[in-house]
Structure 1
Amino acid sequence: MIRTVICDDHPLITQGLKSYIDLNRQIQIVASAASAKELRDVLSVTDADVLLLDIQLPDGNGIDLCAEVKQAYPELKILGLSNLDDRNIILRMLNQGASGYLLKSAPMEEIEKAILHIYDGGVYLGQHAQNSLVLLKNNLSGEIPLVTRREKEVLHYLSQGLSSVEIAEKMFVSPLTVDTHRRNLLQKFNVSKTVNLLQKAKDLGIIQ
């Protein structure tokens, strides 16, 4: 059985998912939560394989929560559920460790299919999400670059307007190391200026 947790603050959606998924002998809804706090409490006492995570919660956003949950439970597969068909949100969810993204308007059988797919190690994107990413890739004229965790940190601090020396102090590395990360990022994103680097990183949902 694929042990699944639902985190959504809309009771009708949670109940609808439970009623439908409970008919599948491969998937079991083991718990539900209506907020980020409830989810933390649930996961601390519940063994789960898959998490259906709402992007908008009353006490936080699902993107930050996704990163937090993946850090605490790296084996847990996360499927983002949202009413928002926004490429930046989709990319940010994937960058934070989600294994898929679906609109809440998706048919119940597609949500079920997505659970099975990500449980097996795949990545599942609904048609709207796929279309958004195809358009983004075409607009950027190239592949989405792979960015390391340390490079993401540098991007984050650059977006705050910090200098290499200030970033080095925060990351406990030398300014030379920061400059190396910056040069690598410029090369990966095929740009020559930091302002263009930050804009591309925002378009890709890597930074806010």
Structure 2
Amino acid sequence: MSQPDNTLRIAMVEDHPVVVEGLRRILAQEMPHAALLEFNTGETFLQHLREAQHLVTLALLDITLPDTNGVELCQKAKNLSPDTCVLGFSNHNDRALIMQMLSSGASGYLLKNVGAPELMQCVREALNGQMAFSDEVKKIIARPSAAHVKAVPPLTKREKQILRMIADGKTSADIAAELLVSPFTIETHRRNLMQKFDVNNAAALIRLAAQLQLI
């Protein structure tokens, strides 16, 4: 369970006054006894973490600040105060950036277009020790990355079959005899596979296929 409101210290690390005002209004209404802290640069937030006698319970962290970016700031903040829960709070909906924030120690990520109910749901989930994402971010994370989509070429059923047989160390003649086709047909499939995976030899083909968990 999360701690009582009167012990919560929530930091808003955001350089747009209108956003801070909106956050303050929502948080003050929903958590009237929580201490709300405002920082418009990353360094002032870090300085507070270095000097404060009381733990910052949760920080809503903008990704683009005048003096730093959210990924670096999250790393530094977690190093200074590992128990502070950090939520990315941004207009940036790039999947790679979201994943970088999570790798840096963030406990979730929200887009700034969230409504008050969704914002508070994410805050409470984070305070309860859960990973917290706005609904739109959940959809972004669920999509495969562009790099992964590009790395996994579409293969026919026969190409997958031949790929597994190549990985088993079988020669083109072996595969041709087993599949009752000509060696030339198998060689054509080999060339097509190497072209699709953008590799120059069978060893590289097998290695990449293994990395992508296709064999």
* Superposition map of 1:149-164 within 5 A: none
Structure 1: gaps spanning 5 or more residues: 142-190, 201-208
Please name the residue that 2:9 is paired with.
Answer: 3
Indicate yes or no: 2:52 matched with 1:37: no
**CA–CA distance in structure 1, aligned partners of residues 81 and 143 of structure 2:** 32
How many angstroms apart in 2 are the aligned matches of 1:108 and 1:131?
19
**SS state at 1:74 partner:** coil
Specify the structure having the higher radius of gyration (Cα).
2
Q: Distance in 2 between matches of 1:138 and 1:88?
A: 9
Secondary structure class of the residue paired with 1:136:
coil
C-alpha offsets along residues 94-114 of structure 1, whole Å, 9 cap, x if unaligned? 010000100011112211111
Letter in 2 for 1:25: M
Report how far residue 47 of structure 1 moved.
Answer: 2.6
1:40 Cα offset (Å): 1.3
Q: How far did 1:115 drift?
A: 1.1
Q: Post-superposition shift, 1:42?
A: 2.4
Name the structure where strand makes up a greater proportion of residues: 1
2:145 & 2:32 partners in 1: Cα distance?
Answer: 35
Aligned Cα root-mean-square deviation (Å): 2.4
Partner of residue 152, structure 1: none
Alignment correspondent of 2:203: none
State how far apart, in whole Å, the 1-side matches of 2:86 and 2:107 are. 5
Match of 2:28 in 1: 22
Give 2:133's aligned residue. Answer: 125
* 1:53-100 CA distance string (max 9 Å, x none): 000000010111101111111111001001011100100000100001
2:70 pairs with one of 62, 70, 76: 62
Question: Using the alignment, how far apart are the partners of 2:30 and 2:138 within structure 1?
Answer: 26
Partners of 1:120 and 1:32 lie apart in 2 by 22
Question: Which of 52, 55, 71 is residue 47 of structure 1 equivalent to?
Answer: 55
Secondary structure of residue in 2 paired with 1:22: helix
Q: Deviations over 1:178-205 (max 9, x none)?
A: xxxxxxxxxxxxx837xxx8xx9xxxxx
- Note the C-alpha offset of 1:34: 0.2
2:87 is matched with which residue? 79
Matched, 1:98 2:106: yes
Structure 1 residue 140: deviation in Å? 3.8
Give the aligned partner of residue 203 of structure 1.
none
Distance 1:17 1:102 in 2: 13
Counterpart in the other structure of 2:96:
88
| 1:56–1:137 distance in 2 versus 1, CA, 3 Å | closer
Runs of 5+ consecutive residues of structure 2 not aligned to the other structure: 150-205
